[in-house]
Amino acid sequence: MFQINYCEYNRSNYDCDLIYRPNGRGDYLFLLLKTPMKCYLNGQLTISRENACLLYTPGTCQHYQAVRKFRNSYMHFSTDLNFEERYDIPVNQLIYPDNHKMIDNILQSIQQEYLSKNLHYEEQLQLLAESLFLQLSRSLKQPVFEDGPVSSSLHQDFQNLRLAMLRSCEEEWTMDRLCKMSNMGKSQFYHYYKLFFASAPKAELIQARMEKARTLLTNEAIQVQQAARLCGFTNVQHFSRYFKEQFHCSPKDYQLKNGYR
């Protein structure tokens, strides 16, 4: 559980303002530093870049000063969770998440809930705090690819294409279509898809169609042939074969066994 003790969004102090708590404050402090700061960590001076994050643990010296302009968002909080192990976020050191805008937006929402105290605000604060640290953890655990920065820059484009395919799995997703959308040849496209997702596009497409089929077949108004068509199959035999491979029974038997027929 999280207890939010204080939160401010987009706070500006006077130039070169200094924060110095030699013994911390007895709780966690999460900072999003929007301007460069002189941070004294483990006895050493480090100057942060814009949009650095810093998570102080309870009892740790908090010592930082704006190089010039002072602006940040921050949250003091307590928790009974095994926080550092649960989220695997580095503590008492500067980190640079690539989704700092999203993190800042969550801090804004936390401040709003903290101040307004609307109905169920405590539950909402729990969800927002959880979301903040999940997003931070995800950002810091982005995979590193053997092909280096070129493949890293392609990852989001491939993820967007992959999600488009899985969301509309009933459509005809040929390799030619995927290659055209990615502006790549077949061997290059397959190489990157396998690198990013450790799977082949056809295998993931079939998996998405089977999961959709299982849901459709719980509707007693739908026949097997309709389910096949709605999942993108023009051949019912092919549909039944894939379904049986996935769920170890035919679509019809699945309906009968689960009382949907």
Evaluate if pTM is beyond 0.75: yes
- pLDDT value of position 49: 96
**Is the distance from CB of 96 to CB of 136 less than 8 angstroms?**
no
Tell me the Ramachandran region of residue 198: left when phi exceeds 0, alpha when psi lies from -120 to 50, beta otherwise: left
Does 204-257 match 2-140 at the fold level?
no
CA dihedral 150, 153, 157, 158 (to 10 degrees): 60
- 10 Å CB burial of residue 56 (0-12, 13-18, 19+) is buried
Task: Give the architecture-level CATH label for domain 2-140.
Answer: Sandwich (2.60)
Nearest to 61, CA basis, from 40, 79, 91, 44: 40
pLDDT string in tens for the chain (261-residue length): 999 999 999 999 999 999 999 999 999 999 999 999 999 999 899 999 999 999 999 999 999 999 999 999 999 999 998 877 889 999 999 999 989 999 999 999 999 999 999 999 999 999 999 999 999 998 887 766 665 555 667 888 999 999 999 999 999 999 999 999 999 999 999 999 998 899 999 999 999 999 999 999 999 999 999 999 999 999 999 999 999 999 999 999 999 988 776
- pLDDT value of position 253: 93
Cα atoms in the Cβ-side hemisphere of radius 13 Å centred on 5: 11
Tokens of 161: 């294409």
205/210 Cα distance (integer angstroms): 9
Tokens of 142: 């982005």
- pLDDT value of position 257: 85
Tokens of 195: 């690198």
Taking only Cα atoms into account, the Rg of the chain, rounded to an integer number of angstroms, comes to 25
CA dihedral 29, 34, 39, 41 (to 10 degrees): 50
Q: Write down the domain spans for the chain.
A: 2-140, 149-199, 204-257
258/139 Cα distance (integer angstroms): 41
29/22 Cα distance (integer angstroms): 14
**Is the distance from CB of 11 to CB of 111 less than 8 angstroms?**
no
CA dihedral 178, 180, 181, 183 (to 10 degrees): 120
Q: What is 204-257's CATH number?
A: 1.10.10.60
Tokens of 57: 């643990």
**Is the distance from CB of 136 to CB of 51 less than 8 angstroms?**
no
